[in-house]
A and B are shown apart, each in its own frame.
Chain A
Amino acid sequence: MTEVSTPTGPAIVVKGVSKRFGDLEVLHGIDLRIDRGTTTCLIGPSGSGKSTLLRCIAFLEEATAGTILVDGAPLGFTEGPDGARTRLPAPSIRAVRAKIGMVFQQFNLWPHMTALGNVCEALRTVRRLPRKEAEERGMAQLRKVGLENRAGHYPSQLSGGQQQRVAIARALALEPEILLFDEPTSSLDPELTGEVLNVMRALAEDGMSMVVVTHEIGFAATVGRHIAFLDHGRVLLDGPPEEVFGAPRHPRLEQFLETYLDRGAATLV
């Protein structure tokens, strides 16, 4: 069994992962290593497969080939040397997945629960903690994202930036080892992105292992210890930001920075 955690190894290893939707193959044999305690940023043009890759790592999508190891343990499937895949039993999937938290572009807060209710839900329902203890832990997470004074607010009473910070607190409540972010600031007004990026920056400094799909190239270049540039379902470039963004730049990356980002972003990094 590979259940033994290997605290020194990589947090996540993606090996030869492919994903097809019907006839459309969206990911073609992705290899990626996410080191523990660091932030990896996935960048790339729209439709290049960033969300799909992240969702495969979260097991919200099932990869059609390849393996994903979380803390050394296979997620969802094991693959034999002949490529035959065996689906793992549900408890194993749940156990491996419990190490992963996710933050979505659309926040996905539960609208009928307060901020604190959202954060405490899994502590109460899944972990079965008594109310008092769950709420203490929930408040501690809200404090971490600077929202302890909004605990009783419903999501609709919060700004987009506040909602996303609640969503981060909710993901943190279960103390995951790895946090995944899919364009966490893309649905926010520009003046609200800062507060979310600051929370993420603080998490990175705390040594959280994070995988961030983002169009915030400035964030990727300063917080990301590792940049992966996806293009048409392949990892085209993979390395530290100095290397990926430094000259000479790959022509596809140059084109991406010019085409997809605000004018001037290419000169930012």
Chain B
Amino acid sequence: MTPRLFELMLWAAGATVLISAVSILIGLAIGFLVCAARVSRTRWLSTPAAVFVSFFRGVPLLVQLLLIYNLLPGFGLYVPSVVAAIAGLSLCTAAYQAENLRGGFMSVPKGLLEAADMVGLSPWQQMRRIRAPIALRLTLPALINEAILILKASSLISVVGVVELTRMAQNLAASTYRPLLFYSVAGGLYLVINWLVAGGGSLAERMLKKERA
């Protein structure tokens, strides 16, 4: 493999990381909102949130991506395919993250919030200062897991025409007639990326450990 071709693979790996990271973060934000809606006592909020979660968890990501890509023009939205890809990944991971967060929020002991009530923290202040930080800490392992799943699932976005690591490997394999080489390099790059993510996760957990002792 020439350095030039390896550079192309690295560039594609960068695209995979960037698209996945953006999707995870947008997904976390949407996940927060969906989680809040899901635990709300207002039916108008909790029912759509439950439908959202079961749809995006129940339909294959590949189908979701094709649906979004083909639906958007129907609403007069001609967006670059990378935007459709990020939308699909974000919505899918949001559904899973909403459920993770819900678990985290439900595990926050009620007494911690009563203590916050007693010193006069408003419901919003309790969310910001007590509930969200504790729930996020509890969900950190699941969040890292989800990040790795999305990194791997992002190989599917090539179906809407985005060139990322898998697609680049396919293209180069086809033009050089050396599939084994390029797919091995792609596999190796995925492995390194996910290894770094997992390492970062355990580092963060270790730093939080002194709180839990």
Contacts and interface: CB of A to CB of B under 8 A. Distances in A.
Contacts of B205: none
A156 B119 contact: no
Given A108-B111, A157-B210, A171 B118 contact: yes
B36 interface: no
Nearest to B213: A156
Given A108-B111, A112-B134, A122 B119 contact: yes
29 contacts: A58-B118, A98-B120, A102-B114, A102-B118, A106-B111, A108-B111, A108-B112, A108-B115, A109-B115, A110-B112, A110-B116, A110-B134, A111-B134, A111-B211, A112-B134, A121-B129, A122-B120, A122-B121, A125-B125, A126-B120, A126-B125, A156-B212, A156-B213, A157-B210, A157-B213, A167-B115, A170-B119, A171-B119, A174-B119
Interface string A83-114: 00000000000100110111010101111100
Say what secondary structure dominates the interface of chain B.
helix
B7 interface: no
B160 to A, nearest CB: 40
Contacts of B125: 125-126
Nearest to B208: A112
Contacts of A94: 120
B121 A126 contact: yes
Nearest to A111: B211
A195 B145 CA distance: 44
Contacts of A97: 118, 120
Contacts, number: 69
B47 to A, nearest CB: 27
B109 A108 contact: yes
B114 A104 contact: yes
Given A122-B119, A125-B129, 5 more contacts: A60-B117, A60-B118, A106-B111, A121-B121, A126-B125
A29 to B, nearest CB: 25
A112 B133 contact: yes
A246 B162 CA distance: 86
A101 B117 CA distance: 10
Which of B109, B119, B134 has most chain A Cβ within 10 Å?
Answer: B119
B210 A154 contact: yes
B126 to A, nearest CB: 9
Interface string B112-155: 10111111110001000110011001000000000000000000
